[in-house]
Structure 1
Amino acid sequence: MTALDLNFRVATLEDAPQLQELVQAAFRAEDSRSDWTGDMGLASQFHISVKEIESFMNGPESAFLMATDNNGIVVGTIGVSKRGANGARLSMLAVDQRHHRGGLGRQVLGYAEYYIHQTWGATKLGLNALSTRQTLIAWYMRRGYQKTGETSPFPRERFPDLELPDGMCFVEFEKDLDTVAVAA
């Protein structure tokens, strides 16, 4: 698959329904790579509302960045939020499943790092990944993210009907943007 020429911008409230569809579809997508998607029962029940997307967008120092192709079709998105004087956090990286394995996720992540560094001057960037998604964890580590040694709890109460693995949690990661060349 050839790399797409992407156009990036900050999403507006009018974009929220498209982003909700993209995030939900990306988190529910099946993938043949073991440990990439993780538990399909869990993935199939993932839900995020347009109101949740809008609420994040309305935060004082948070936004969704979106990537569109040359036809204006949304193909990727990521949530960014400022944390303290020098920090920022990424969330909900989502790529249109028709473009998986084509480097699009890497481009969206790279742009988010650039945006955060240029917009907020952040030098520390955090994110998390579900502990059962070992291939995704390795992917983030190849992008320069390091495990902090901390975890955060998984909201089991949102999935009362699923039998989830014991010890499932979110693994916390951090990246130092000062030691990395951040480019668009």
Structure 2
Amino acid sequence: MNELNFRVATEEHAAQIHQLVETAFRTTDNRKDWTDNLGLVSSFRLHVQEIIDVITKPDSVMLMATNDQDILVAAIGTSKRDANYARLFQLAVDTSQQRGGVGRQVLEYAEGYCRRIWGVTTIGLDALSCRKSLLSWYLRCGYEMTGETTPFPREKFEGLALPDDLCFVEFEKVLGEASAE
């Protein structure tokens, strides 16, 4: 795996990140339990303004990972919620780079960023309940299910047959001590 270069995104990167997130979230993947609702995947929509809002909001950043040719291969959103807690969201990896460890590298960098820059001790995130493989992946990355769920925004997907129990599963991870980097 090639080494990734990380930086904080600016508004000029919003369109590029938007394209990456939409492509990554819409990909059809035949792995069992990766996603079991292709209608949901194909209906996913994100607006560039949503990316700009993250980039320009205080205590919130989009982190970009580029390869050695400065091509965007992954991104993740981070948001500080209080002195000890931050959230991660919209982890997206270029479809040609998936299954190669890029996601784990990006997740670890985002955790380190939140610890170094904001001094947080706990990270939270969520994942769609139907994505069993993704839920397991977060567990393998050291996250624990909190037992809480967040409702899925069904109003954004009217007309789709969605499972009654579809929701976001909440995870948390307590970070280790900050190391000298």
TM-score tier, shorter chain, comes to over 0.9
Of residues 109, 112, 115, the one that matches 1:111 is: 109
SS at match of 1:178: coil
Q: Which runs of 5+ in 1 are unaligned?
A: none
Say if 1:114 and 1:183, in contact at 8 Å, map to a contact too: no
Matches within 5 A, 1:11-160: 11-160=9-158
SS at match of 1:116: helix
1:79 deviation in Å?
0.1
Structure 2 residue identity aligned to 1:163: A
Work out the percentage of aligned pairs sharing the same amino acid.
Answer: 55
Please list the CA deviations of residues 35-67 of structure 1 after superposition, one character each: whole Å capped at 9, or x if unmatched. 113311101010101111001111111000000
Structure 1 residues 159 and 183 mapped into 2: Cα distance closer, same or farther (>3 Å)? Answer: farther
Structure 2 residue identity aligned to 1:164: L
Structure 1 residue identity aligned to 2:107: L
Structure 1 residue identity aligned to 2:61: A
Residue-pair matches, total: 181
Of residues 160, 169, 175, the one that matches 2:173 is: 175
Structure 1 residue identity aligned to 2:31: R
The separation in 2 between residues aligned to 1:56 and 1:182, in whole angstroms, is 27
Instruction: Give TM-score, length-normalised by structure 1.
Output: 0.95
Please list the CA deviations of residues 91-116 of structure 1 after superposition, one character each: whole Å capped at 9, or x if unmatched. 00000000111000001001001101
CA-based RMSD of the aligned residues comes to 1.4
Instruction: Give TM-score, length-normalised by structure 2.
Output: 0.97
